[in-house]
Amino acid sequence: FACLAWSHSETRLLYVAEKSRPKPQPPCPWDVPGAAWPAAEDEDEEGKQFVYHEDWGEALSTRSVPVLCVLDLQSLNLSVLEGVPEHLSPGQALWSPDDRGVVFVGWWHKPFRLGLNACSNRRHPWDADPLLPTELLSAENGSVCSPRLSPDGQRLLYLEGAVGGPHRQCLRLCMVSWASWAPGTAVLPCAASTVPRSFAGLYAEVLPPQCWAADSRRAVLGTPQRSRTVSPGHGRARDLTHTAHGSSEGCWELLTLQWDLLVATCSAPHHPPSLVVAMLPPAGQELPLGWVPVEDTPTVPGVTWKTLTLQPPCSEQGPAAQDTQTFEALLLSPSDGTPPHPLIVCPHGECRDSGDTLAVLVAAQVMPMLAPGGPHAVFDARWRPSMAALCQLGFAVLLVNYRGSLGFGQASISSLLSRVGEQDVADTQLAVEQALHREPLDPHHLALLAGSHGAFIALHLLTREPERYQACALRSPVSNLPALLGTSDIPDWRYTSLGLPYSFDRVPCAEEVATMLLRSPIAQAAQVQTPVLLCVGARDRRVSPTQALELYRVLRARGVPARLLWYPEGGHALVGVETEADVFKNCAHWLLQHLGQ
């Protein structure tokens, strides 16, 4: 929801705040029978102290009813904009070119709120409100975000996706002419399927706050492209130019674009982020960009990396569409020590830090001036301190981007629907087998390290190949799908992932519950023999920590070595310096102990 926008006159500030509620009265301080506080001024609030108030789920548990506020710096008057439709929660607001209106995104919260974090499939059109009443500018049934006004005030860019379906997906980049307020037109459509070296579509959750070039004809944005950035000279379309980076770095992230000065960071699995700048050349001359380091960081010794491209085998019935899609894995290896190296396998879950390829969009070439986004994440080739540390401990690390990952086209994302627990598990198995075949790795010293949906995949691997892995460390694991229906902030995903329709009044039938249970690792937990470490946050709204607790009890009852770490203030991602350090320390110790390192 967040925004902080100056008016063009620089006299008013627009921002989002949480609507306040009357605070409950403290308990009576007098130990006298019948004594009480004086009657509350608002009698309507009496008896409402324990009324349940919805929030927006994981990482947004303190957000429920956002409101748009305006601070007038001349009069020092603070006001809340009234008139936002009751079914919408406003956010991501900015001023209109003449400061007489406000553009904002409105999230539907009727009949109840679904989790927003890492979900680009929620219904939220956006409005331009001449300080209310509102007028709809985007598609009514679309899922949009990140409106960005061009410097000349003539165009609005925004991201748009489909409502429902995968929680992250390939998005369209749309543009609206401010003069005509005509419906938004796709400047860059969704990429259905891709081939190597072609543009694979947009997957960013937000656009950079400052993304327009000074000429108001081009915009710079970032998005995952397969497992890393496009190398110099790869791909130029009528409407898109990849900014050639001139290096082997795997991840580039745009921080801001001011007066055609690009400020970005670049990193790789063996190289912590460096700060770089470049001037954006005139239109049509974007390549190459002359990046200048502002603050460079040295390469970390002892770590090498490469990208493995993998092709699934064709099914016996003939090559289906999903069978022809390649996927990738990143292999990090220690450059020191004597091979073969023990291997840690990491299928991804919800990645908090999906990386970017910088691209320059030449907007005016597509739209004439007179026509005025669980399993769906990606391990990109960025710097990850924990993975580099594992390499320095002597492990090779395999980061698997199975089919369904971001950055490989919408067809790849859609291919996983109804095949969760099957296709993703088979892809990870194939990645392990190919890595062992191609690289100097020790097949007798294998371990699994994963979180969220990646932990779901890891548990399936433990049940299918009980003797293959010697250790397993999991964060916020999904183990029992039907049990998440009433505990997760995204109950819709439990249906969508298995190809089942979802509606707000949905109640599963017995057959659907049975289907979910059969796809759940807990149903085959009796097959697990590998020592398992479980790390969970007590405040996880996405995957209830009781998932790990149930699994822990089953493993202990069967004599399987298991340990459960319970972080009282932790959420789904287990973030925070102290928490992250403790999780890594325990996971590394567990792997070292059980792999005999």
Question: For residue 370, what is the DSSP state?
Answer: T
* Look-up of token digits 């296709």: 423
- The catalytically annotated residue of 150, 267, 452, 476 is 452
Contact by Cβ (8 Å): 225, 233 = no
Which residue, among 69, 88, 85, 86, has the nearest Cα to 77 in the 3D structure? 69
Question: Does residue 85 sit in helix, strand or coil?
Answer: coil
Give strand pairing partners of 178. none
Cα separation, 310 vs 326, whole angstroms = 6
Residue 8 known to be catalytic: no
* Burial of 107 (C-beta count, 10 Å sphere; 0-12/13-18/19+): buried
- The catalytically annotated residue of 109, 348, 460, 572 is 572
Question: Does residue 320 sit in helix, strand or coil?
Answer: coil
Question: Does residue 522 sit in helix, strand or coil?
Answer: helix
Residue 348 known to be catalytic: no
Give strand pairing partners of 307. 330
Give strand pairing partners of 4. 15
Cα separation, 246 vs 244, whole angstroms = 6
Residue 386 known to be catalytic: no
Contact by Cβ (8 Å): 269, 303 = yes
Q: Classify strands 12-18 and 66-72 as parallel, antiparallel or unpaired.
A: antiparallel
Record the tokens describing residue 118, joined without a space. Answer: 């890492």
H or E stretch at 554: helix 546-557
Q: What share of the chain is helix, strand, coil (3-state, %, to 5)?
A: 20, 30, 55
Contact by Cβ (8 Å): 71, 3 = no
Cα separation, 473 vs 534, whole angstroms = 6
Question: Does residue 93 sit in helix, strand or coil?
Answer: strand
- What are the phi and psi torsion angles at 135 (to 5°)? -135, 130
Which residues have a catalytic role annotated? 452, 540, 572
